[in-house]
Amino acid sequence: MGAAVLPDTAVLGAVLKRYPFVPRHRFTRGISSTLSVRNRSYSVADKRIFKSAHIVFSHNNGDDMFTDIVVDQDLGKNEVLGIEDELIAAKKSLSEAQDRQEAIEKERDQLLEELARSEARKQEYSAAILHDKEVAIRELEAAKSLFQKNLEESVEEKFSLQSKLVLAKSDAVDLAVQVEKLAEAAFQQATSHILQDAQFRISSAETTAAEAAHQIEKQIKDATEGTISSIVEKSKHAIERALAVAEEAGEHAKEAMETFIDGTSPFTEITSVQVENIKLQGMLSDLESQMMVARNEVARLNIELEHTRQQVKAFEQRAIDAEKALLDLQESHRKTTLQQEEEMKSLMEKMRKDVADKTKAISKAFKTDLKNIKATIEASKEVVVSKDNAYLRRCAALQRSLMTSEDALKMWKQRAEMAEAWLMKERKLDVEDEDSIYAVNGGRIDLLTDVDSQKWKLLSDGPRRDIPQWMARRIKAVIPKFPPKKTDVAEALTSKFRSLELPKADEVWSIAREKPKEGDALIEHVFERETIEKKRKALERALQRKTIKWEKAPEQKILEPGTGTGREIVFQAFNWESWRRQWYQELASKAADLSKCGVTAVWLPPPTESVAAQGYMPSDLYNLNSSYGSVEELKYCIEELHTHDLLALGDVVLNHRCAHKQSPNGVWNIFGGKLAWGPEAIVCDDPHFQGRGNPSSGDIFHAAPNIDHSQEFVRKDIKEWLNWLRSDIGFDGWRLDFVKGFSGTYVKEYIEASNPVFAIGEYWDSLSYEHGSLCYNQDAHRQRIVNWINATGGTSSAFDITTKGILHSALHNEYWRMIDPQGKPTGVMGWWPSRAVTFLENHDTGSTQGHWPFPRDKLMQGYAYILTHPGTPVIFYDHFYDFGIHDVITELIEARRRAGIHCRSSIKIYNANNEGYVAQVGDSLVMKLGQFDWNPSKENRLEGSWQKFVDKGSDYQVWLRQ
């Protein structure tokens, strides 16, 4: 550093001209006052005496302070000049004045040249403006021609679309006629085939009946003829034998007569005749018996003949029935034909209607295109107008720059005149101030500050012009004459040096300690550095917390959306009345406390715009300004949760959505916003909203239109919305509302697309009751929930409503309800614990709704159960902050953490009866509910040493393994 000493006043004028920043600072007034202040002047005859004066001009460059100009004129104190010396001095002053005049004329010439150059630049600017204007006009003409061309193309496209529409209509009509013909031919073909088949069957039945009758008649005839012939043969044989016997008897009679005549004994002959008669009688009796058998056989054959006739009648009746069935079939086919014709007519009507709708849609799209073209034209006009305005503004800026240059020229002239006036004026000095030095530095003091303390202030307010090397060398020559810098306020106050019209020393010291403020030059990087520092500290804190967690639970890791990390503790952070307050801001202030208490995930209320203030009747899904707060407040709340290492779960309603407009027939089924769906996005079996989609894959929610998730465009829009909530808003997972209304397969698709850290489904179903009391067996209820989880492929967990319902009754001295026949818990926890989200109360069952509130006197037993058992427990906001059990719940969370319990922990139930309940969870925790006396140290089945961690008497007790 150094100082430049100028021997004459001409240099002062040159310096004043060289450094235009000097007149703008307060030191100008200091100089003028210094030049005109109380100077004692003496006449030439009185031998004038002048006191030496130093005028110091300071200039800063970077962090160092330099002195620019030092005017040193020392005329001596007590020297008396003679008249000759005065004449010599006058001549010298005259020559100096002439030199100054020449310098001023030279400067004037330079200013005139600068003015001429300014005029030339002005002309160049005018030419450039005119050129730009011509270019803009040419661009506008090109845009107009392009628009005209696009308009003609759009008109031609309109005509081509109209012609295509006419052709499409004719094609549709031809297609309908062909469909009718094909349907008629197909129907006739199917009908003729059926009729031929029926006739063939009837003729076959008749033929079969005739053949059977013929066979039966033939069998009867053959049997009758065989029987009669056998009877005749037998009769003939008997008659022949009788005739033979009669002949033999006659012969015997003749022989007897001859013997009698010959003198033979007649008695002998009579005896033989009697014997023969007896034989004949036996033969006659045999013949009669055979005749009886023949008659019986004829009677049996008659019965068979009658039976055969009945069968023939039955076959005839069947033939009649078959003919009647054929007539019925023909009648039914005729009705079917009529019905098909009606269906074809309705199909044709629907096709005509669809064609009309498509025509309307095309015309609407064409109108929309025309509107877009008009909007484009307006936009181009606005662009042209904005360009014209920009050109006008540029012209005005150029004019202002010219005026500024003229003002600068005037200012330089004034400065030259002022310098000349100062140099021509007599300067007088005060003898009493011989030890004072006036130091000026643009309103700041050098003497009381050091470089470091004034660094930011000088950077923000100091001059920016570099000092030439020659000036720096001259400043370095003068700098040793400066007073020493002071290091504190006390030393500065006792110093003999003082400033000219400057702040007090205390104020200067306060400026040195003051922080940089917005608006100061070169200060943005300071705030950026502070922001980076804050982020770095936040990351260090998060890393430290994560390091502590990893040390405590080294196996912890992200598994899947159905389980999260496996150690989640969810906090439902709202109730039914939370929308009445600025909820996001209030919740953000509780993030630190929730993280400290052991909560890992926070379930936020539905974020979308909703017809109902609570958020469960959403309308515009992309509008997140809800009753709970604005979208900015929501983002801030989520950032606070993330800062304290908490997951943010969004409550998304996918089953239904409220419409924005009515259809022409007055039904609210037209959606607005970014997702502008229509009736095609609503299920067709929703009776109130006339949807044109497919049937619902679940139950109907009657208060709002139920969305048809089978539509491809619906699923695509929902997946994009969920990904937007993840990436832009910051949500980590989902609580899915009313999933009973649509299939779990769609939930699987949504989860796989959005990849949440954790997902919970609300599958609300009624438990089984008998005569007003809860049934013991609730397997069917939990099976329905497990079926839904299976439908999602296990990608989502579900609220364990079975466990909640059972706890309502079990904690009233019916603890036997808490174990199933297989020795497992009776809720979903017993079958699929990793997907069971246990809870006692939520915004629906509790709060001001009170649909199914948990017994107030058993609240702590309920939390002792779910917080020490497998599954993922949920804590309700009202219980945690309004019921006065904040610390008690925190104590149970700490017990769960120390025991290392997670969603898949093993469980073994030792007691479950009227007196109480005892279970061991994992390897390190045992808990008891109820009044009976029990201690793990007295149980042979429990090895190791156990220490009681929580003791609430007859309510519950918790032991941890040492």
- Which amino acid, residue 805? G
Question: Among candidates 584, 585, 590, 582, which has minimal Cα distance to 882?
Answer: 590
For β-strands 956-961 and 946-951, DSSP reports them as: antiparallel
- Which amino acid, residue 476? K
Q: Taking the chain, what is the end-to-end CA distance rounded to the nearest angstrom? A: 75
Q: Identify whether 632 is a catalytic site residue.
A: no
Q: Identify whether 174 is a catalytic site residue.
A: no
Give the DSSP H or E segment for 960.
strand 956-961
Which tokens hold the place of 606?
A: 């539905």
CB proximity list for 888: less than 8 A, separation 6 or greater? 860, 863
Rounded CA Rg of the chain = 59
Q: Give, in order, the Cα–Cα distances in Å from 322 to each of 207, 319, 327.
A: 14, 5, 9
- Pair 880, 841: CB distance under 8 Å: no
Question: What does 3-66 look like in DSSP terms, one character per residue?
Answer: --EESSHHHHHHHHHH-TTGGGSTHHHHHHHHHHSS-----STT------EEEEEEEEETTEEE
User: Taking the alpha carbons of 134, 135, 136, 142 in that order, is the dihedral positive or negative?
Assistant: positive
Listed as own residue / partner, the contacts of 466-475 with beta carbons closer than 8 Å and 24 or more positions apart are: 466/61, 467/59, 467/61, 467/66, 467/68, 471/4, 471/66, 471/68, 472/1, 472/2, 472/66, 473/2, 474/2, 474/3, 474/4, 474/5, 475/1, 475/2, 475/3, 475/4, 475/66, 475/67, 475/68
- 131-157: b (≥16 Cβ within 10 Å) or e: eeeeebeeebeebeeeeeeeeeebeee
Which tokens hold the place of 581?
A: 């307050």
Active-site residue identified among 68, 620, 640, 762: 762
- Calpha distance 691→682 (Å, rounded): 4
Using DSSP, how many helices (H) and how many strands (E) does the chain show?
A: 20, 21
Helix, strand, coil shares, percent, the chain, to 5: 60, 10, 30
- Calpha distance 749→716 (Å, rounded): 10
Which tokens hold the place of 438?
A: 């006036």
- Pair 1, 65: CB distance under 8 Å: yes
DSSP state of 585: H
Question: Among candidates 922, 704, 930, 720, which has minimal Cα distance to 817?
Answer: 930
Which tokens hold the place of 431?
A: 């003898």
How many residues comprise the chain?
962
Question: What does 890-923 look like in DSSP terms, one character per residue?
Answer: HHHHHHHHHHT--TT--EEEEEESSSEEEEEETT
- Calpha distance 889→901 (Å, rounded): 16
- Calpha distance 503→487 (Å, rounded): 17
Active-site residue identified among 640, 717, 737, 955: 737
Q: What is the largest CA-CA distance in the chain?
A: 246
User: Catalytic residue numbers?
Assistant: 737, 762
